[in-house]
Amino acid sequence: MIINKRNILLKLLIFILIWNLNNLAFANQTEYTATLIAVGDVLMHKPLIKAGYNNGTYDYDNFFRSVKETLKTGDWTIANLEGPITKDPNLFHGYPKFYMPYQIIKSLKNCGFNILNFANNHTLDQNEKGVLETLSIVKDHNIFIVGSAKNEKNSKKINIIKKNNISIAFLGYTYSSNQYIPKDKYLLNIIDTNKIISDIKRAKKLNADIVTINLHFGEEYKTIPNKFQKRLVKKLAEAGADIILGTHPHVIQPYAIIKSKINNKDHLCFVAYSLGNFISNQRDENTDCGVILSITLKKSLKNNITKILQIKSIPTWVHKFKQKGKFDYSILEISEILKSNNFPKNLKFYLSEIKQNLEIMDQKCNYILNKDF
């Protein structure tokens, strides 16, 4: 009995020693890193809604199975939710007025998403009722949502999420709405340059290390950003935005690094003009592809500076195939497709070009980021 007590005491002392050593190491740590993962549009067209149906239930986990582990590497993982959500299966609807199954939120949560942008042209597809139902469902799944709020008070809140001692403020805005511009402006954040600049400044005052802005803008199916996109991101970069994530064109658009001076200090802003489609039924050229964008951040406590350490693009393709008499979908990493013998040569050639273009953009951005810092 005495020996057992001694063993328990010894184990307890070892545990306390290890715990103290770990805390000491954490206290002495001077640098921290964390990763932001961002993807483009989540569009639940009618065929995708049907694909998840089986024996009276809906489940969309299979859509994301092949990219789940990649998505889970993010400390923050964000997507653009392109339309409202409902629990009523009788109301499920695809394009042009989306009302998507709430089970898609469960599946997004299961593969690592903890933030959703809900400022886009489909937000009000089902009017205020759809917005409020979506906000409630997303909240119930412990996912942050930006770009829309249920009341004026909530709309004024800046969402700042801290991971591994690095804090990011997330903001979201859209060019317009397909339905109407609500009188209650808190339901949908419309792009207003002065308002966004004001929000950036508020986020900085709240000690956000990084300000990330989701912008739903640009021309659909255009692979090059337009003048409005370029002018807007330049103004926001000069106001202090650190990362700008674009959606809406449904195709991948280029990246850019915008240099400016803020308080006489050099400032770099990374811009992804459009991340393309993450999941959808669109099959035209370039619309069946997207990118999982991984941004590694590094914070130094010596000078209290947080910077982008590395940009890495993982290009994806939405595989549409027939299974058990109906269409199904799976998001695949293009690098894995190129290794496989199960896909035709013409598809591989098309996808390899997309992969090469993203690799070139990564190299250019990483060169500038490391050179200038």
Asked whether residue 219 is assigned to any structural domain, the reply reads: yes
Buried b (16+ CB within 10 A) or exposed e, 162-172: ebeebbbbbbb
Kindly state whether residue 1 falls inside one of the protein's structural domains: no
User: Does 359 fall in a domain?
Assistant: yes
Identify which of 338, 369, 176 has the alpha carbon closest to the alpha carbon of residue 257: 369
**7 inside domain:** no
Q: Is residue 118 part of a domain?
A: yes
Q: Is 17 domain-assigned?
A: no
- Cα–Cα distance measured from residue 107 to residue 92, given in angstroms and rounded to the nearest whole number: 17
Amino acid at 193: T
C-alpha neighbours within 13 Å on the C-beta side of residue 347: 20
Global confidence as pTM: 0.92
Query: What does the pLDDT read at residue 185?
Result: 94
**Domain at 149, CATH number:** 3.60.21
Write b or e for each residue in 332-349: b if 16 or more Cβ atoms lie within 10 A of its Cβ, otherwise e.
bbbeebeeeeebeeeebe
Per residue in 72-131, pLDDT (tens digit) is 999 999 999 999 999 999 999 999 999 999 999 999 999 999 999 999 999 999 999 999
Instruction: State pLDDT tens for residues 24-52.
Output: 555 567 899 999 999 999 999 999 999 99
pLDDT digits (tens, 9 = 90+) for 202-218: 999 999 999 999 999 99
Type and span of the H or E element at 352: helix 345-372
How many structural domains comprise the chain?
A: 1
**Residue 159: domain span:** 32-372
